[in-house]
Structure 1
Amino acid sequence: MASALILIDIQRGFDSPVWGARNNPEAEDNAARLLAAWRKASVPICHVRHLSTTPGSPLVGQGAEFMAKVAPERDEPVFEKSVNSAFIGTDLEQHLTHSSIGDVVICGLTTPHCVSTTTRMAANLGFGVRLAHDACASFAGNSDTGWAEGMAALSPQVIHDTAISHLHGEFARAMTTDAILLEGP
């Protein structure tokens, strides 16, 4: 049985400098490679868009638009959310279940937030999960978010690697895009 591809929040608003430094500048290109393979195989694809309710967020208006290289085509479903999990407030779970999908491949932005939360929930809901870790990225944050008292600031790469290490094994198989493409949809 094929796996559905879930692309999470790959939106123009994540190009904003408000997010701070970022790791993995190839994340969107890797997500686009997965998307092309899923389209070629005619396997289910699910696009997720974050519509922020936070005043001043870059993820509203034009910032909520998908990046062109991963924008939905034809009848590819779009699930809109305003929280970290793509399963909360959407019919993503019902869509996957109705489509007889038991396994998913997840990629997108950002690794420690919406990608991590959706990955954990997908596994908890009983889906098999492959996580394309090199098709995800993390940010360092900005001066407004700060760090908890007594905590040292972490680099985007450390944040990303830590989030992936917490997911791999228990919630997902963290894999490279190339390894996922080798296994196929």
Structure 2
Amino acid sequence: MALRPEKTALILIDVQSAFVERERAGERRNNPGALDNMVRLLEAFRARGLAVFHVRHASTEAHSLLRPERPGFQPIEAVRERAGEPVFVKNVNSAFIGTGLEEGLRRDDARTLVLAGITTNHCVETTARMAGNLGFDTRLVEDACYTFDRIGHGGQRETAEAIHAMTLSNLDGEFATIETTNSVLAALNASAAA
């Protein structure tokens, strides 16, 4: 993986307390180290002064944990934005619809987007698909996002691991390149050494 850091932005998607609440309520997820990896990416981008964009979901559904007036809307503290890091609030799955995200990225001349967040098969996937369609070099960090078990279309239980893997398969090579936290950090280090 090669990166031009000055043309690269990290986008953290929906890293919000509602998902911690879901885990505490007994829902099962994959990638137990995903939040730690999000923090590693965030720290690396911040240390190099690179662009960081935060996205939050403000649900319009009456009983959603992600409604803006509920505690679940708040970011997970470990990845809370700092002064100067833009926060875009969306009401649908894509971070590009109804927000100024694309304009912000174009203004910063970002060409490569490094995506991480929650959940892999919903807002992360939708944002990755749109980023690819908008012409961005989209890199989805597989170990810095996660999802939950769910009941599938036919009534069978689908594991978070299977859902996550299928999402990556659907995106890879068409909408995004699948990366790991280590591959992104290695690329940042290599570009600094060049």
1:97 to 86, 94, 106: 106
Query: C-alpha separation between the residues in 2 aligned to 1:46 and 1:93?
Result: 11
User: Is the contact between residue 19 and residue 140 of structure 1 (CA under 8 Å) also seen in structure 2?
Assistant: no
Give percent identity, aligned residues only.
44
Query: What is the correspondence of 1:24-43 to structure 2 with a 5 Å cutoff?
Result: 24-43=31-50
Q: Deviations over 1:8-67 (max 9, x none)?
A: 000001012368311111111100100000000101100000011111111122101000
Point out 4+ residue stretches in structure 1 off by more than 4 angstroms.
Answer: none
CA deviation profile, 1:131-177 (whole Å, cap 9, x unmatched): 11100001113xxxx432x3532101000011011111111110110
Q: What secondary structure sits across from 1:16 in the alignment?
A: helix
- Kept in 2: contact 1:105–1:131 (CA 8 A): yes
- CA–CA separation in structure 2 for the residues paired with 1:116 and 1:147: 17
Report the residue type matching 2:19 in the other structure. F
Match of 1:106 in 2: 115
Equivalent residue letter for 2:87: V
Taking structure 1 as the reference length, what is the TM-score of the superposition?
0.93
1:116 aligns with 2:125: yes
Which runs of 5 or more residues in structure 1 are unaligned? none
Let me know the Cα RMSD of the aligned residues.
1.4
Number of residue pairs aligned between Structure 1 and Structure 2? 180
Return 5+ residue gaps in structure 2 as ranges.
none
